[in-house]
Amino acid sequence: MATQSQGHYFVPNPSLYPFILSAGLLVMAAGFIFSVNESVPGHSAGSWMMLGGLGVILAMIFLWLGKVIAESQGGHYKTWEDKSFRWGMMAFIASEVAFFAAFFGALFYMRVISVPELAGFDPEFTPYKDFLGAWPSAGPGGVVLGTEYTTAQFTPMGAWGIPAINTLILLTSGATVTWAHWGLLKNKRSQLVMGLFLTVVLGLMFIALQAYEYHHAYNELGLTLQAGAYGSTFFMLTGFHGFHVTLGTIMLIVILLRSMKGHFSPEHHFGFEGVAWYWHFVDVVWLGLFVFVYWL
């Protein structure tokens, strides 16, 4: 840490965006709740509320980040502010890691503890006599909240088809984004733009393949969100990951457009780096998914 004063820290002007963003979240959450509770009067208005809230949220994110970009271009962010963004982004990514850890935890728990346990009861007393507990599993079946639930018949997703291709795609995209970074550091704009462009294309390919995989799972493998332990963890893990890839791709597109406009310099490009870190994070989570969800 510096031993002399670091000059003036930029404190942004008062802003209404965060407040409106929160209001949008409130409306969206309430709308969602109404829309999923069919017994509730006003249920039909729920989806519209949700869409309205989402619209407000998107508009606010757009305006807020637009303002940040304007401030950055206006030269308000020096090394000191830049450091804050770096620390902040690291802490944010750490919290995302913890979020995924919860779902990985659920996967390991079911696989190692609850599914084998359900198969291991004394046959004299268990209602699950024929249940073997082998993974992948949709559980022993039985009565769920009053409705008869029978174990879903499904084929698990193989690792060496689309998932392996997707692994290659994401690993390559990690390389292209790094190559773009080198371009930026050497002030080679064309390499920067080209690298980002390739990364975006790879991201979009990943999303498209993932969508195809879901289609395949639902229509041909009988593998759905309702398919017990395996279906729940498969779709929640890959779903949240896919959502993060989508976010990351949108961020990359923004950064690509900014690079084409001439934003960023070799010394000053936190926006680029933050997105690149995020992309690497998404990449690492995928490796975990590939190993523990698809492969092993």
Please report, as residue ranges, which positions from 74 to 103 form the binding site for other proteins (by CB under 8 A): 80, 83-84, 87-88, 91-92, 94-96, 98-103
268 φ, ψ (degrees, to nearest 5):
-135, 95
Residue 259 touches other proteins, criterion: CB under 8 A: no
The 20-59 contact track toward other proteins, x by CB under 8 A, reads -xxx-xx--xx-xx--xx--xxx-----------------
Least Cα distance to 244 among 213, 289, 282, 272 occurs for: 282
CB of 35 to other proteins, least distance (A): 10
72 φ, ψ (degrees, to nearest 5):
-65, -45
Given the complex with other proteins, which of 76 and 188 has the nearer CB atom? 76
Residue 19 touches other proteins, criterion: CB under 8 A: yes
Residue 157 touches other proteins, criterion: CB under 8 A: no
Least Cα distance to 203 among 150, 241, 258, 232 occurs for: 241
CB of 210 to other proteins, least distance (A): 19
Given the complex with other proteins, which of 22 and 265 has the nearer CB atom? 22
Count of C-beta atoms within a 10 Å radius of residue 294: 21
The CA distance from 149 to 139, in Å, is 10
Q: Pick from 74, 122, 124, 143: which binds other proteins (CB under 8 A)?
A: 143
Least Cα distance to 278 among 86, 112, 119 occurs for: 86
The 214-243 contact track toward other proteins, x by CB under 8 A, reads -----------xxxxxxxx--xx-------
Positions 187 through 206 that interact with other proteins (CB under 8 A): none
Residue 3 touches other proteins, criterion: CB under 8 A: yes
Distances (CA, A) of 62 to 55, 57, 251: 11, 9, 11
Count of C-beta atoms within a 10 Å radius of residue 241: 20
